[in-house]
């Protein structure tokens, strides 16, 4: 099987010769060659001053000595790449057939809680050059099952590995949130902490971004956005491609082996009353001849958790999520926190 057959049809002409298909218009973006060094946090001896500066001025930082076993992340990458390399039609059939909460998506990172792609409004013209798996960790309690024994074995190995990875990364997220809360002088009980950051909401998305011909126009692997999460934790391969907005410019975040990238989401910005920021970011590979693989963990407040801030109308996370989905479906894009500013009407 040719590797190109593993990608969605809308990706294939871009990969082959850079021509844009009628069903996959890709918005050109300017080439940006500036690299930037984001703050580094040592998880073994966490410096609260550096953490405060990173959250306030950047909304993103690199985490070293994070404690997630390198052997585990290597095995997870190997098996997820193997599954993603299956023919496109086979992946669709496989994940539709398995008795599992795992789901396969492509062309957009905008998904609902079940992992299904949101139907985007007429104003949305871009197809994101990304595909992947959505994994709600709290539902990985039973083994996967399907008719294909070989694929069942591979899926079950994937489930076991990503569940183990989830245990490590969720502990990291809780410890980071508690440290960040201390920098904000938030005195939270264990119940309050689990309302603001609920491990039951944790999910992992495994992403693959395809290569494209050198003559192809620049194409976004993932469009400009902020995360809706409290905290997101990214493990990426050596290809790179993550870019962040700093000031009014885009900068490329260089990959560094055996580190994690932590970025704050919209909920952390609201919880901090805008003292900390949810960073704008996108994915645009500099090297278009190689694929990119990454794994990202997202964690959210409890759905009925009430977020109060002097900068926004009070809202629960479920209300925020519903508004984001309504905007994506009607306007083709996420609006996010500005929808909840005192002057903004809601359009649910």
Question: Tens of pLDDT along 100-128?
Answer: 788 999 988 888 877 788 877 655 556 78
Q: Tell me what pLDDT residue 113 has.
A: 77
Q: Which letter does DSSP use for residue 257 in this model?
A: T
Q: Tell me what pLDDT residue 19 has.
A: 44
Q: What percent of the chain shows pLDDT beyond 90?
A: 63
Give pLDDT tens digits for 62-106: 999 999 999 999 999 999 999 999 999 988 888 877 667 889 999
Cα distance between residue 83 and residue 79, in whole Å:
6
Q: Tell me what pLDDT residue 177 has.
A: 98
Model confidence at 21, in pLDDT bands (50, 70, 90)?
very low
Give pLDDT tens digits for 278-310: 999 999 876 666 788 999 999 999 999 999 999
Q: Tell me what pLDDT residue 36 has.
A: 95
pTM: 0.90
**How distant, in Å, are the alpha carbons of 75, 129, 173, 256, 301 from that of 260?**
16, 23, 11, 8, 22
Model confidence at 344, in pLDDT bands (50, 70, 90)?
confident
Model confidence at 11, in pLDDT bands (50, 70, 90)?
confident
Q: Is 116 exposed, middle or buried (0-12, 13-18, 19+ CB in 10 A)?
A: exposed
Cα distance between residue 237 and residue 323, in whole Å:
33
Q: Tell me what pLDDT residue 55 has.
A: 98
- Average pLDDT of 7-14? 82
Q: Tell me what pLDDT residue 100 has.
A: 74
Give pLDDT tens digits for 195-240: 999 999 999 999 999 886 544 445 568 889 999 999 999 999 998 8
**Number of alpha carbons in the 13 Å side-chain half-sphere of residue 159:** 21
Give the gyration radius of the chain's Cα atoms: 20
Q: Is the dihedral of CA 184, 189, 192, 198 positive or negative?
A: positive
Whether residue 263 contacts residue 334, with contact meaning beta carbons closer than 8 Å, is answered with no
Q: What percent of the chain shows pLDDT beyond 70?
A: 82
List the alpha helices (DSSP H) in the chain.
9-17, 48-53, 70-84, 88-97, 149-183, 190-196, 266-271, 317-331
Q: Tell me what pLDDT residue 193 has.
A: 93
Model confidence at 20, in pLDDT bands (50, 70, 90)?
very low
Q: Tell me what pLDDT residue 149 has.
A: 54
**Highest mean pLDDT out of 14-23, 105-114, 130-139:** 130-139
Q: Tell me what pLDDT residue 92 has.
A: 87
Q: Tell me what pLDDT residue 287 has.
A: 63
- Average pLDDT of 29-48? 84
Q: Tell me what pLDDT residue 57 has.
A: 97
Q: Tell me what pLDDT residue 273 has.
A: 97
- Tell me the average pLDDT of the chain: 87
């Amino acid at each position: 099987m040719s590797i190109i057959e593993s990608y969605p049809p809308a990706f294939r002409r871009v990969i082959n010769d850079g021509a844009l298909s009628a069903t996959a218009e890709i918005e050109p973006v300017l080439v940006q060659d500036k690299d930037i060094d984001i703050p580094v946090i040592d998880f073994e001896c966490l410096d609260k001053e550096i953490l405060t500066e990173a959250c306030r001025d950047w909304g993103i930082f690199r985490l070293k000595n994070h404690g997630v076993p390198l052997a585990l992340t290597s095995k997870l990458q190997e098996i997820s790449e193997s599954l993603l390399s299956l023919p496109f039609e086979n992946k669709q059939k496989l994940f539709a057939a398995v008795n599992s909460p795992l789901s396969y998506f492509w062309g957009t990172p905008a998904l609902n809680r079940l992992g299904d792609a949101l139907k985007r409004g007429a104003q949305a013209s871009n197809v994101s050059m990304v595909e992947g798996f959505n994994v709600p960790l709290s539902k990985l309690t039973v083994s996967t099952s399907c008719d294909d024994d070989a694929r069942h074995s591979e899926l079950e190995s994937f489930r076991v590995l990503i569940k183990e990875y989830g245990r490590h990364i969720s502990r990291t997220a809780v410890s980071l949130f508690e440290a960040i809360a201390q920098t904000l002088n938030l005195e939270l009980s264990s119940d309050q902490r689990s309302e603001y950051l609920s491990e039951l909401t944790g999910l992992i998305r495994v992403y693959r971004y395809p290569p494209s011909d050198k003559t192809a126009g620049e194409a976004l692997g993932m469009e400009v956005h902020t995360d809706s999460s409290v905290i997101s934790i990214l493990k990426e391969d050596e290809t790179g491609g993550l870019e962040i907005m700093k000031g009014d410019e885009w900068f490329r975040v260089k990959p560094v082996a055996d580190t994690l990238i932590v970025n704050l989401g919209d909920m952390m910005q609201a919880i901090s009353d805008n003292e900390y920021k949810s960073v704008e970011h996108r994915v645009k590979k500099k090297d278009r001849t190689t694929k990119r693989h990454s794994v990202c963990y997202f964690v959210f407040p409890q759905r009925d958790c009430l977020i109060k801030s002097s900068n926004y109308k009070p809202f629960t996370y479920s209300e925020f999520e519903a508004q984001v989905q309504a905007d994506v479906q009607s306007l083709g894009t996420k609006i996010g926190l500005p929808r909840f500013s005192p002057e903004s009407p809601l359009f649910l």
